[in-house]
Each structure stands twice: as structure tokens, then as C-alpha cells.
Amino acid sequence: MSRHPAARVLGALLLLALLGAALLRGVTFRAEMSDLLPPGSTPGAEFLLRELRSGAATTLLLAGIEGAPEPELARLSRAVADGLRASGRFAFVGNGVQDLDEAERDLLFRYRYLLSPATSPALFEAPALRDKMVALLDGLRSAASPLLARFGFADPAGAFFALLGAWMGESHVALREGVWFAEGAAAPRALIIARAKASGTDLDAQAATVGAFHEAYEAAKPAEGARLLVSGPGVFSTAAAAAVRADVQMISVLSGLLIAAFLWWRYRSLLMLAAVAVPLLAGTLAGTLAVALAFGAVNGAAFGFGMTMLGIIADYPVLLVTQRRPGERLEETARRLWPTLRLAAAAATLGLSAMLASGFPLLAQLGLFGAAGLLTGVAVTRWGLPWLLPGQAIGPRPLPLPLARALAGLRGARWPLLALPLAALALLATGGPRWNQDLNRLSPVPQAQRDLDAELRRQLGAPDVGTLIALGGEDAESVLRAAERVGAALGPLVAQGAIGGFDSPARTLPSAATQRARQGMLPDAEALRARVATAAAGLPFRANAFDRFVAGVAESRALPPLTPAGLAEAPALSARLALLLSERGGTWQGLVVPSGVRDMPALRKAVDGLGDPGILLVAVKAETEGVVAATTAQALRWAALGGLGVLVLLAAVLGRQRGGAMAGLRAALRTATPIGGALLVTLALLNLGGQLLTPFHLVALLLSAGVGMDYALFLGSAAPAIPGDAAAEAERTLGSVLNCTVTTLLTFGLLAFCGTPVLRGIGLTVALGVAAAFTLALALAPRLRTHP
């Protein structure tokens, strides 16, 4: 390598870029939503999070087509649905067309008396049969007679129509032009619902199913203006990744340009720009590598957040280069500053490491990313930069005079400390920090995408459920029996109006026990033939009119009960059942979903009354809020522990430097005061600004505390070692710290303009914290003995 520093720095940058390219190629990035979910601590929360990660709902895709006249939308809906069915990626595609094909209808017709809730012994007695026959005769006169003629003689008891009626009664969707349309929407929107065969955890396959939607849509040659809207977990991951990527790119470019401009203004040296970039790049690479090694893969969101956070590494080279004394070699400067720099970096790393134990995958990744990045950044600054810039005299230009005067006035001025009691008062007055309870605020999924999802769900009549009852069992049969017990307990609640209704897997497929019980209610052929003859006496039916009925009942008595496997021939009903009954890892799980819950205590009492530990009532909103609160509390505990650790570290190190535990503690407290004060001021400002705190705010607070530590340590350090040159030394230190503050503000201030809520929160917190830490550290710094 050349001896010329520019060549060395450029060479180092090139090397890092190559390493980075190799790393990005080798590391697996994932966009799994489950990483963004905190761990659950109650059975209800665990169940819920498992459902969110891999439940039946994760394979469901909802789509709308809009922006064209109804006939065109109907044509598109049909073409897209046909394309999806032909792709073979979907277990079920519903758009209103041909829900029940012939094979499925025949299967259901064959099982009508086993499946229908109308089956009872009385239904097959002569009086009931006669009523049904009179009604059939009346129906045969109507325009619907072909249908009645087709099914009515084989099923005068009406079990099949009762079955279809019960299932159809739940439709919320308007059928126009032969396909589903959103009811009551301002502009027409055709609706499609599809269930992917791929598991919800197989992200590549999920992405491919989303792709299949767009391919089918493009193949249908949509008219000008028509739009396809798709929602579902696969879309969510992609949208979240894209949103974070767009934000991070925007921030990287903009803040890069701004920092470059600022550094150019302060140093007038391209070499300085390159020198700052080296530790920054190295730190980012190290962070990525550490997370990839420890977690196997890097979550895209953690990478994005972490990269922006590591912007603070730029502080180290700025501190180093700016504090060089005239004539001093950079290596000497590095050696002189090292104890302080090392302490600052170690303390910041310690704080962030606490997040590793938070149990929240994304926070843990962020903590590791930050810690590894900071350590690498400081090490490269200490040992790399002096080698890259031997004897190079890059120095800052003097600060503009008004600014220098203002800063000099601020140094040691105690009045900014008034901000501390004011902040404490503001916090008290506003009732302390407000914590976020909404899981959605932690998610990088763009708000517009979430709104679309909620809208499509509502229009398809599948709104997000507020309450559900989870059932577990060894096999489908035991789950279905449990669902029937729950159904029996909920029936009275529906009658009382405590709940509006409920959906149950047993409604689609009764348990084998129930089916056998219904078989037991069916009369034998001889008895039934006699009753039919009695019932039909005097009515204009031919003698053999109901032969198909008698034969059908006889067949029903001998049928093996229908099981989930047997329902495979019925795709529409299987898809319906799969939402509420599924197998996972050898055990079966079912869901009973109450709707219109008006009396939660009554519902809880009814479910508790069953006394079955396998039946779990889950209040979704309360549970997710509980999860968020528990995660936040845990993050807070670990953050506090990290803070305490930092204080102990400071006291220990400073104590050794000052010679004495008490002196160390005093020095530690003096260093910690501006940081603690900055945290207080930041919390108060966030609170006044109406920000709800999330665990990410805590990470950002830890980060700004780490940055503030640099300022406090450097500005607060003891009188300069070269007598007589105190003023120049102090000004160099102040200049370096000021430059750090401005570069950090430029990066994190920009984050406040991001679309991703988490990034906005981090940006705002760090920017406020750093500004406050700088002001307080300067105010608490020792006054200069001589003034220039």
C-alpha cells in the first residue's frame, strides 16, 4: 500500500466496501414480522403470538380490485381468480364464483342428516313430515320449483337447505355481476380472498403467492385506471421491509450529504471526510456480522435501525482529529485520549448490551448491532486512523466569533441547570412518561397498508376479532367436541344478548360423536316408509315420490362420520374450517370466535364454567396490550440495570484515575449528572410533545446517554496538561465536542421526518438527548482559569 495518506484512506475505504459487499451477499436478511413481536408471558398472550406468527390467518390473502366500472372489475375478478386457481399455489380462492362445485355439493348432500343441526327424531315422524310435504307442494308452484323438485323429494325434511342457509346466513358480501363486491363502498371494489398452501412462516413462498396475485392481474390485461390492492402477512413483511429500506436510504443519502457539507465547512479537507467514513463503515459491518453470527440472520428492520444508530460512530474520529495539539502526531493524540475514549465507548456499549437480555428479538438484535458497532468504531479510530493519517495535519478552522463567544459564555454557566427542575416539574405535571400500549406502533408496516387491511377485512366480513376462545386437543375430534361444549355454553348468552353470535368449527363440521348421535335419530327404512305413506295420505304425490328420501336416510345411517380429512373433497368448506380448526406439530387447535360481545364478564363466566383447562378465553386487545406493557417494563428494567452498570463502571475507572473510591464516585456523579439531566429533559420534552414511549425509545435513550458520556467526559476532564495553553486546549476540546453534536443532530434530526414510526421515535429521542447533553455538559464543565 502506498505511503500517501489519501491512497491509504481510499484503499481502506475500498477494502471495507468490498468486505461490505461480500457480507451483504453472505448474510441472510429476513423481514419476519415475528421478530418484531415481543415474547408472550401469559398463556393467552403466547397463544396469540403463536397465531400471529404461524396461525391460519397468516396464510390468508385479501384483495380488492377498483378503479374501473363494475363489469370490468367483475371480469378482472374472474380472470384473477382463475389465474390464482391455475397457479396451484392456493388451497382456496373465493371471489363469489362457483363456491360450491358439483362434487362438493354431492358430498354435503350425502351427509346432510349428519351435518345438519336440524336433524332430530321428531323431524322424521309423520306429523313433521306432512308439514314439510305441504310446504314442498307450495314451493313446487313457485318459480323456485326446479330446485325444489331436484332436492325436495330426496330431502323433504329440508336438512340440506337448512345446512346451506346456516352457512349462507353469515355472508356479508354483495354479489354483483356474479362476483363479490364491497357493500356500501363509495367506488365499486371487487373482493377476492385466497388461502395460500404455503405455511405462514415460509416467507419466500409467501412472497411468491403475493407475486402470483400480481401476475394473474397483469395477465388479465386490466383497463386503464384499474388497481389491484393486496393485503396479508406476506404483503406486510414486504411493505415493512420496503418502508424501512426507503427511510434508511433517504436518511443515509441526506444525512451523508449534510454531514459532508458540515465537515467540509469545519475542516476544508476531503481526507477528513474519508477518515470519518472509515470507522463508520467498519462499525456498521461489524454490527451486521455480529448479529448475523449470533442470530443466524439479520432482521431488515434491525439492520435499518442499527445503521442509522451507528451514525454516532462519526463522533470518535471527529474527537480524535479535532483534539490534536499543534505539532502532535495523531498516534500521540490517540494514546492521550484513549483512556477517556475507551471509557466512553465501554460505558455506551454496556448500556446497549443490556438490551441483549430484553427477550425481545428486535431489541436484542439492535443492542448487539449497536454494541459491536461502537466497539469496532472506537477501535478503528484508536489504531486505524493514526496509521491511515500519519503526520497529516487536518485541523478545524476556528469557530465563527459570535458562536465561540456564545459557547464560552455557556461554559460553566450554571443557569442551564434550571432546566432540570423544570423538566422534573413538567414530567410530574403531565403524569410521568406515557407508555405505548399499541402493538401496531412497534411495527414498521406502513399505516396505509394497515388501514387497507382493516378495510378489506371489514368488507369481506372478517373483521379483526376482539375476543376468541382457543381450544386445544390431541386430535380433531376432541377439539370439535370441545367446540360443541363451548357452543352449548354460549347458546344461552346469544339468547340473552350478552353476545351477538359466534362462529365455531363444529358448525361447519360436527364432531364424530354428534354425527353418530344424529345417525341414531334416523328411523330404519321400514319405519320411515310407513311414516312417509301416512304423511303423504291425501296429498297428490305418487307412491314412489319419496323413494330417494327413504334410500338417502338408510344410506345416512351407514355412513362413516365425516372427518377433516374426508372434507378434503370440499374445498370451500375446508377453507372455511381451516380458519377455525388446524393441526400443528401433532396437536390440534380450534377457535370459537364470539362476535358482538356486550357482556364480557358473562362470557368469561360461561367459559370458566366449563372447567376445562384446554379451553382458553383470549381478549385480544387486552392481551396484546399486556404483551407490550410487559415488554416495555422488561426493557425498562434492563435499561435501568444497564444505566447502573455504567455508573459503577464510571466510578471504578474514574476512581482509579483519581486515586480513591470517593473521588471516583464524585467524578462519576459529575459525569453522570449532565447525562441523567439530559435524559430527564428529553423525557419531559417527549412527553410534552405527546410521544408515547416504546422500547425503541429506551434504546434511543441509552444511545443518547452513551453519546452524552463522550461530551461529559471530554468537557468535564481535568485542567489541561500544558500550562499556559489551557485556553487553546479547552477550545479544541469544545470545538471537537460541538462538531460531534452537530453531526449527530444532522443524522438524527433527519430521522424525525421518516415514515416509519420507530425511526421517527429514535430520531427525535436521540436528537433531543444529544442537544440537552451537550448544553448540560458544557454548563457543568469547569470554568477556564484564564480568558483569551
Residues 63-102 that bind other proteins (CB under 8 A): 74, 94, 96, 99-100
Residue 369 Cβ, how far from other proteins at the closest point, in Å? 43
Segment near other proteins (CB under 8 A); pick from 121-129, 137-145, 409-417, 478-486: 137-145
Report the residue from 19, 125, 167, 260 that binds other proteins according to the rule CB under 8 A.
167
Report the residue from 196, 579, 709, 768 that binds other proteins according to the rule CB under 8 A.
579
Residue 540 Cβ, how far from other proteins at the closest point, in Å? 4
Nearest C-alpha neighbor of 173 from the set 454, 362, 456, 439: 456
Report the residue from 513, 525, 559, 572 that binds other proteins according to the rule CB under 8 A.
572
Report the residue from 3, 25, 141, 414 that binds other proteins according to the rule CB under 8 A.
141
Q: Which residues contact 58 (CB under 8 A, 6 or more apart)?
A: 52, 199, 200, 201, 233
Report if residue 161 touches other proteins, rule: CB under 8 A. yes
Q: Is the dihedral of CA 303, 306, 308, 311 positive or negative?
A: negative
Nearest C-alpha neighbor of 185 from the set 455, 454, 449, 451: 455
Report if residue 176 touches other proteins, rule: CB under 8 A. yes
Residue 164 Cβ, how far from other proteins at the closest point, in Å? 6
Residue 511 Cβ, how far from other proteins at the closest point, in Å? 21
Residue 144 Cβ, how far from other proteins at the closest point, in Å? 4
Judged by beta carbon, residue 172 or residue 598, the one nearer other proteins is: 172
Residue type, 47: F
Report if residue 171 touches other proteins, rule: CB under 8 A. yes
Residue 572 Cβ, how far from other proteins at the closest point, in Å? 7
Judged by beta carbon, residue 414 or residue 542, the one nearer other proteins is: 542
Judged by beta carbon, residue 164 or residue 726, the one nearer other proteins is: 164
Q: How many CA within 13 A on the CB side of residue 295?
A: 29
Report the residue from 105, 342, 441, 529 that binds other proteins according to the rule CB under 8 A.
105
Nearest C-alpha neighbor of 253 from the set 319, 307, 321, 318: 307
Judged by beta carbon, residue 538 or residue 601, the one nearer other proteins is: 538
Residue 365 Cβ, how far from other proteins at the closest point, in Å? 38
Report the residue from 180, 502, 588, 711 that binds other proteins according to the rule CB under 8 A.
180
Nearest C-alpha neighbor of 196 from the set 60, 87, 395: 60
Number of other CB atoms surrounding residue 647 within 10 Å: 18
Answer whether 374's CB lies under 8 Å from 284's CB.
no
Report if residue 787 touches other proteins, rule: CB under 8 A. no
Report if residue 393 touches other proteins, rule: CB under 8 A. no
Answer whether 484's CB lies under 8 Å from 511's CB.
yes
The CA distance from 361 to 102, in Å, is 49
The CA distance from 139 to 787, in Å, is 107
Report if residue 134 touches other proteins, rule: CB under 8 A. no
Which cell is 166 given?
346456516
Segment near other proteins (CB under 8 A); pick from 49-57, 165-173, 323-331, 588-596: 165-173
Per-residue mark of binding to other proteins, 456-475 (x: CB under 8 A): -----x--------------
State CA 59 to chain mean position distance. 16
Only one residue has cell 414511549, namely: 693
Answer whether 692's CB lies under 8 Å from 432's CB.
no
The CA distance from 445 to 235, in Å, is 9
Answer whether 139's CB lies under 8 Å from 145's CB.
yes
Report if residue 142 touches other proteins, rule: CB under 8 A. yes
Report if residue 197 touches other proteins, rule: CB under 8 A. no
> Phi, psi (5° rounding) for residue 544?
-95, 10
Report the residue from 146, 586, 609, 723 that binds other proteins according to the rule CB under 8 A.
146
Report if residue 325 touches other proteins, rule: CB under 8 A. no
Judged by beta carbon, residue 147 or residue 406, the one nearer other proteins is: 147
Residue 194 Cβ, how far from other proteins at the closest point, in Å? 11
Report if residue 140 touches other proteins, rule: CB under 8 A. yes
The CA distance from 44 to 34, in Å, is 17
Report the residue from 190, 193, 442, 683 that binds other proteins according to the rule CB under 8 A.
193
Judged by beta carbon, residue 573 or residue 651, the one nearer other proteins is: 573
Report if residue 214 touches other proteins, rule: CB under 8 A. no
Which cell is 294 given?
449470533
Report the residue from 164, 465, 521, 630 that binds other proteins according to the rule CB under 8 A.
164
Residue 678 Cβ, how far from other proteins at the closest point, in Å? 55
Answer whether 635's CB lies under 8 Å from 360's CB.
yes
Judged by beta carbon, residue 98 or residue 430, the one nearer other proteins is: 98
Report the residue from 86, 103, 175, 293 that binds other proteins according to the rule CB under 8 A.
175
Q: Is the dihedral of CA 144, 146, 152, 158 positive or negative?
A: negative
Residues 499-558 that bind other proteins (CB under 8 A): 540-542, 544-546
Which cell is 92 given?
382456496
Q: Which residues contact 230 (CB under 8 A, 6 or more apart)?
A: 61, 62, 63, 210, 213, 214
Judged by beta carbon, residue 154 or residue 244, the one nearer other proteins is: 154
Q: How many CA within 13 A on the CB side of residue 578?
A: 22
Residue 101 Cβ, how far from other proteins at the closest point, in Å? 11
The CA distance from 437 to 628, in Å, is 6
Residues 602-641 that bind other proteins (CB under 8 A): none
Q: How many CA within 13 A on the CB side of residue 72?
A: 15
Segment near other proteins (CB under 8 A); pick from 43-51, 158-166, 386-394, 398-406: 158-166
Answer whether 732's CB lies under 8 Å from 320's CB.
no
Residue 98 Cβ, how far from other proteins at the closest point, in Å? 8
Residue 486 Cβ, how far from other proteins at the closest point, in Å? 21
Residue 649 Cβ, how far from other proteins at the closest point, in Å? 60
Q: Is 295 helix (H, G, I), strand (E, B) or coil?
A: helix
Residue 380 Cβ, how far from other proteins at the closest point, in Å? 58
Report if residue 177 touches other proteins, rule: CB under 8 A. yes
Number of other CB atoms surrounding residue 24 within 10 Å: 13
Report if residue 412 touches other proteins, rule: CB under 8 A. no
Judged by beta carbon, residue 266 or residue 507, the one nearer other proteins is: 507
Q: Is 180 helix (H, G, I), strand (E, B) or coil?
A: strand
List the end-to-end C-alpha distance of the chain, in Å, as a whole number: 44
Q: What is the largest CA-CA distance in the chain?
A: 126
Residue 621 Cβ, how far from other proteins at the closest point, in Å? 25
Indicate left, alpha or beta for 177 from its phi (over 0: left) and psi (-120 to 50: alpha).
left
Report if residue 25 touches other proteins, rule: CB under 8 A. no
Residue 180 Cβ, how far from other proteins at the closest point, in Å? 7
Number of residues that bind other proteins (CB under 8 A): 46
Report the residue from 17, 18, 24, 144 that binds other proteins according to the rule CB under 8 A.
144
Residue 159 Cβ, how far from other proteins at the closest point, in Å? 14
Q: Which residues contact 22 (CB under 8 A, 6 or more apart)?
A: none
Judged by beta carbon, residue 551 or residue 719, the one nearer other proteins is: 551
Answer whether 767's CB lies under 8 Å from 745's CB.
yes
Integer CA distances (angstroms), 477 to 108, 463, 473, in order: 19, 28, 8
Contact residues: other proteins, CB under 8 A: 74, 94, 96, 99-100, 105, 137-138, 140-150, 153, 161, 164-165, 167-168, 170-173, 175-178, 180, 193, 461, 540-542, 544-546, 572, 575-576, 579
